[in-house]
Amino acid sequence: MAIVDVIKYEGEPNIMAWKYPSQELGTWTQVIVNESQEVVFVKEGKVLDVLGPGRHTLSTKNIPLLSKLINLPFGGKSPFTAEIWYINKIFALDVKWGTAPAIQLEDPKYHVFIPVTSFGQFGIQVEDSKTFLTKLVGTMHTFEHDKMVKYFRGLFVSNVKNNISGYLVKKQISILEINAYISEISSELENCLRPEVEKYGVKLVNFYVTSIEAPEEDTAVKKLKDALAKKAEMNIVGYDYNTARSFDTLESAAKNEGNGSGFMNAGMGLGMGLGLGSQFGNQMGNISTKINTSNTNPTKEQDTSNTIKCKQCGCEVDKNLKFCPECGNKLGVFCKKCGAKIIEGKKFCPECGEPQIFKCPKCNQEIPETSKFCPECGEKI
């Protein structure tokens, strides 16, 4: 094989490392290195020199190590074999990364597991060609840009998961609040990842987190956001969760028609919810015993006291009852048409207007319905 006189880059623009196909060189061979490139000169796995942009002659004057490794006479002309590697040092600034699928993280503030996705971009550049070639490229003949990006993207995503989780725990903030800290998280991640890429002779030019999101359709996310919305609403109107639950209890009790005990239980619930305990509950219980459980609508002319005495046994009973719960005696006069209680002495029902005149069957004298004998003739009623 003929000895190469001039060597120049013949690879694609997206190649990060390219090995010249021929190893037949001479001390008169010239190597042309373009801007944004470096050439690594390798002999038997050892790096002899790194050449920057320009035209270089592979002579012992320019590369003194040749005389030691190849036993060439200093300043003489002789053929030899070696590897020529072109390293692309151009910036790659628009590399996208993302955590797909979502990662499961425990929200340190609300202690629920939420799926989280994170996205961003980074920029890298080969800084140390010798380290890059020996630690990352190895024995491959070419090393594409996509292959390098794929390697570092995987490295970054792995670190992003751990660092986002650690940041949440350290700051004790919710996942739903984390977007307010994206700039700070980006800086921390860049500082953390820079030493990792430097091991391979690569410089991390920049690293950005553009978004950290929890999927809106996830059940846990929906429940957490609903709870936070309710909390915000209660904070705006000025009461807490226990108070809200007490109001709900009272509302339910109010819908329980005709049930005094339901209202009393609501009073107990409200008392406990507001921290007033049994004192408030007892007060509500006393109120409930005075609730009118009948359909009677009292008029202004009725007695304002709550109890009356049974004329037969003398027991104090609720004035709205029709019969004494002790002896069964009929309490007062009631309209035969609508059943409303009639004030004693009145001739018409105050609710439906039905006449309430009672006459003695013997002498036709008007008498009160509660009378047992006619006051005129003595007839037994």
The predicted pLDDT at position 74 comes to: 52
- SS3 of 214, please? coil
**pLDDT above 80: residue 23:** yes
| Conformation bin of residue 314: beta by default, left when phi > 0, alpha when psi is -120 to 50 | left
Mean pLDDT (the chain, rounded): 77
Alpha-carbon gap, residue 198 to 128, rounded angstroms: 9
Which amino acid type is present at position 52?
G
Q: Where are the beta strands (DSSP E) in the chain?
A: 6-7, 15-19, 24-26, 30-33, 37-43, 46-51, 54-57, 79-81, 83-88, 92-98, 103-106, 113-126, 142-144, 202-213, 307-309, 316-318, 333-334, 341-342, 358-359, 366-367
| Conformation bin of residue 363: beta by default, left when phi > 0, alpha when psi is -120 to 50 | alpha
260-273 and 241-254 helices, crossing angle to 10°: 170
Q: What is the pLDDT of residues 162-197, one digit of tens each?
A: 888 888 888 888 888 888 899 999 998 999 899 999
- SS3 of 375, please? coil
Domains, the chain, with CATH or none: 6-88 (no CATH), 92-219 (3.30.479.30), 239-289 (no CATH), 310-381 (no CATH)
The predicted pLDDT at position 351 comes to: 76
Structure tokens belonging to residue 97 = 């990364």
Distances in Å between the alpha carbon of 371 and those of 256, 327, 375? 40, 19, 8
The predicted pLDDT at position 368 comes to: 67
Alpha-carbon gap, residue 193 to 203, rounded angstroms: 10
Alpha-carbon gap, residue 322 to 336, rounded angstroms: 13
Calculate what percentage of the chain has a pLDDT beyond 90: 18
Looking up tokens 């880059």 gives 9
What phi and psi, each to the nearest 5 degrees, are found at residue 214? -110, 125
Q: What is the pTM of this model?
A: 0.55
H/E element holding 170? helix 145-171
What phi and psi, each to the nearest 5 degrees, are found at residue 307? -130, 160
pLDDT category, 224, cuts 50, 70, 90?
A: confident
Q: What is the pLDDT of residues 311-326, one digit of tens each?
A: 778 788 777 777 787 7
Q: What is the pLDDT of residues 70-88, one digit of tens each?
A: 665 555 578 888 899 999 9
Distances in Å between the alpha carbon of 2 and those of 40, 41, 79, 99, 226? 22, 19, 10, 52, 77
The predicted pLDDT at position 151 comes to: 86
- SS3 of 206, please? strand
Give the residue-averaged pLDDT of 153-168: 84
Alpha-carbon gap, residue 34 to 31, rounded angstroms: 10
